[in-house]
Structure 1
Amino acid sequence: MDERTYGYTTDVRYRDLDPRGHVNHVVYVSYMEQAKGAFLEDVVGVTLDEVNTVVRSLDVDYERSIESGQQVTVDLRVESVGETSFTITYRLNADGDEVATARTVSVLLDEEGSRVRSPSAGDGGSRSTAAAGERSYRRTRSNRRP
């Protein structure tokens, strides 16, 4: 994990499993969304409810399955911040083994649903995703059950 990577750890829940005992492929994306939410709260200082964005693109490369009883870690990094969007890359590991990599591009919207400029375009905003992408934030949050 480098200095600009955020880590989020969770346990596999029974509801995450398909009939064969593997985590359903859609749940991988749910783990990524949980990590993104934790990142926004811990590093940027806002919740997902406070950030009006939509995912414009999502690419996931599945390497291997996640199974019941495993611990999942999602490492994310803000790859870039553009005029109206930002890109996050993800690496998912189960018990230390890489199981998937992914990339999302999210677009910032106003209340009417139109694209808006990123805070990196000059208005400063230390609470912005842009600011988080430009500084070190090596942190880890665990959502594991005791």
Structure 2
Amino acid sequence: MNKVDGFQYKTLIPIRFADIDAFGHVNNAIYLTYFEIARSSYWEEVIEWDWDSVGIIIRRSIVDYLKPIILTDEIYTYVRTSRIGTSSFDLDYIIVKIVDGKEEICTTGQTLCVTFDYKTNRSLPIPASQRLKMEGK
């Protein structure tokens, strides 16, 4: 399977029976959970986020539904950091399903993330080491 252009990270997403709605496809609200699973893995495996020093909150989520996903589909989510500010950054997502051995794009999305100090309830600058990893350095 080829990587989607510009995305270096992808992860398998397990589809649960509880994700399926009365019409037999993944319910629209579940896509945000799939994004969360993918970004958590991305932050752990690629960015190596230090949760003890800086938290992250989601300020905005966008989901574009292109094709339905059903229980028996094999799906993966691609994640990348597409914009980095002082204390916020954007993550882009592409959910693909495997059809006849090829990836078919089902959903795209984006979240606006803000680095956050839960003790002071204020945003913080993105730590330098995580910024470098988001930049791919």
Fold-level match, TM-score > 0.5? yes
1:93 equivalenced with 2:101 (yes/no): no
Q: Which has the higher contact order (CA 8 A, sep 6+)?
A: 1
Instruction: Summarize the Cα distance change of 1:4–1:20 in structure 2 as closer, same or farther, 3 Å threshold.
Output: closer
1:19 deviation in Å?
1.6
For the aligned residues, what is the CA RMSD? 2.0
C-alpha separation in 2, matches of 1:56 and 1:41: 20
| TM-score of the two chains, using structure 2 as the length reference | 0.84
1:25 aligns to what SS in structure 2? Answer: coil
Give the aligned residue type for 1:104: T
Provide structure 1 residue ranges, at least 5 long, that are not aligned to the other structure. Answer: 137-146
1:15 equivalenced with 2:22 (yes/no): no
How many corresponding residue pairs? 129
C-alpha separation in 2, matches of 1:60 and 1:19: 21
Instruction: Summarize the Cα distance change of 1:25–1:48 in structure 2 as closer, same or farther, 3 Å threshold.
Output: farther
- Residue in structure 1 matching 2:111, options 104, 107, 111: 104
C-alpha separation in 2, matches of 1:90 and 1:22: 19
* Percent identity of paired positions between Structure 1 and Structure 2: 26
Question: After superposition, what is the alpha-carbon deviation per residue over 1:42-97, rounded to whole angstroms, capped at 9, x for unaligned?
Answer: 11223768751111111111101100111111001110110110111011112221
Instruction: Summarize the Cα distance change of 1:133–1:66 in structure 2 as closer, same or farther, 3 Å threshold.
Output: same
Question: After superposition, what is the alpha-carbon deviation per residue over 1:116-144, rounded to whole angstroms, capped at 9, x for unaligned?
Answer: 1122xxxx32xx1x1222116xxxxxxxx
C-alpha separation in 1, matches of 2:53 and 2:62: 25
Q: Which position in structure 1 is the counterpart of 2:70?
A: 67
More strand by percentage? 2
Instruction: Summarize the Cα distance change of 1:3–1:58 in structure 2 as closer, same or farther, 3 Å threshold.
Output: closer
Provide structure 2 residue ranges, at least 5 long, that are not aligned to the other structure. Answer: none
